[in-house]
Amino acid sequence: MPRLAANLTMMFNEVAFEERFDAAARAGFRAVEFLFPYDWPSAHLAQWMTNAGVENVLFNLPPGDWNKGERGLAALPGREIEFRDGFRKALDYAQALGTPRLHVMAGLVPPGSDTGIRERMRSTYLENLRWAADEALQANRTILIEPINPRDIPGYWLNHQQDALDVIALVGAPNLRLQFDLYHAQIVDGDLTRRIERQVGVTGHVQIAGVPDRHEPDSGELSIAHLLATLDRVGYTGWVGCEYRPRGLTEAGLGWIAAASPAARF
């Protein structure tokens, strides 16, 4: 039975962020995820979670300067100190919130770079992930990497599922896992049923959204009922983050859950 978590960055946008925890709980969710917590003191976030009776299952490391277009630091040569400072900040938040998983964003390939930049970024990425995995292991935390499609984030360094699997194997850390976003994976690679079967052993978190428009997963290219049933069949017991942009009011669009998986747990 899938365990569904509401992504509060995208869902329940009809209310202020601090009100989304209660809104998610009223809609039936018992877990939440979000992109970044750093605009709020961790004590405030922890109180909102406690008041609503929800747990936080995932958030991202600081991405650099988001407003200037940065989308992660882990693969950027010369930004290692900033990456490590950001990781420590994320770990402090994770410990305050009880968050077990942190998504490490790779970053963008600089436009107009020479042909060797991707390999230099790969070396930086591997080094940073090895360091972060060791730090996270001491804190009993899991770190995740996620291939992201180049339509949503042009120039993102990590796009393909196999590339992420190769990185995880090279790092070789027991707490480095795959953030398997079925929306991104369908756009870039497809063959989702077989990928779920092959990748379940390294998957630490799953996310879903409708393809191609990233709305509720109730139409378009994916059969969400089939994919959730496949996750059950292969023995995936982790969380499934609902990382989509509702077409209208969030709660009005939640009918897809009962239709796709009557046994789904929030």
| DSSP string for residues in 24-86 | HHHTT-SEEE-S--TTS-HHHHHHHHHHHT-EEEEEEPP-S-GGGT--BSTT-TT-HHHHHHH
Q: Is 251 a catalytic residue?
A: no
The answer to whether residue 93 sits within a structural domain is: yes
* Chain segment 244-254, per-residue pLDDT in tens: 999 999 999 99
Going by pLDDT thresholds of 50, 70 and 90, the confidence category of residue 156 is very high
The answer to whether residue 113 sits within a structural domain is: yes
| Active-site residue identified among 18, 119, 135, 146 | 146
The answer to whether residue 74 sits within a structural domain is: yes
The answer to whether residue 265 sits within a structural domain is: no
Please return the burial class of 98, using the count of CB atoms within 10 Å of its CB with bins 0-12, 13-18 and 19+: exposed
Q: In the structure encoding, which two tokens stand for residue 71, read together?
A: 């989308």
Domain containing 70: what range? 3-260
Q: In the structure encoding, which two tokens stand for residue 242, read together?
A: 């609902």
Q: What angle do CA 159, 233, 215 make, to 5 degrees?
A: 45
**112-148 exposure pattern, b = at least 16 Cβ within 10 A, e = fewer:** eeeeeeeeebbebbebbbeebbeebeeeebbbbbbbb
For 162, the enclosing helix (H) or strand (E) is: helix 161-171
Going by pLDDT thresholds of 50, 70 and 90, the confidence category of residue 265 is low
Q: CATH number for the domain including 143?
A: 3.20.20.150
Residue 198 pLDDT: 97
Residue 225 pLDDT: 95
Q: Are strands 31-33 and 142-145 parallel, antiparallel or unpaired?
A: unpaired
| Active-site residue identified among 55, 80, 243, 251 | 243
The answer to whether residue 206 sits within a structural domain is: yes
* Chain segment 31-66, per-residue pLDDT in tens: 999 999 999 999 999 999 999 999 999 999 999 999
The answer to whether residue 188 sits within a structural domain is: yes
Q: In the structure encoding, which two tokens stand for residue 232, read together?
A: 């059950």
Distance CA 19, CA 21 (A): 6
Q: Is 243 a catalytic residue?
A: yes
Q: Is the per-residue pLDDT at 262 higher than 80?
A: no
- The count of domains in the chain is 1
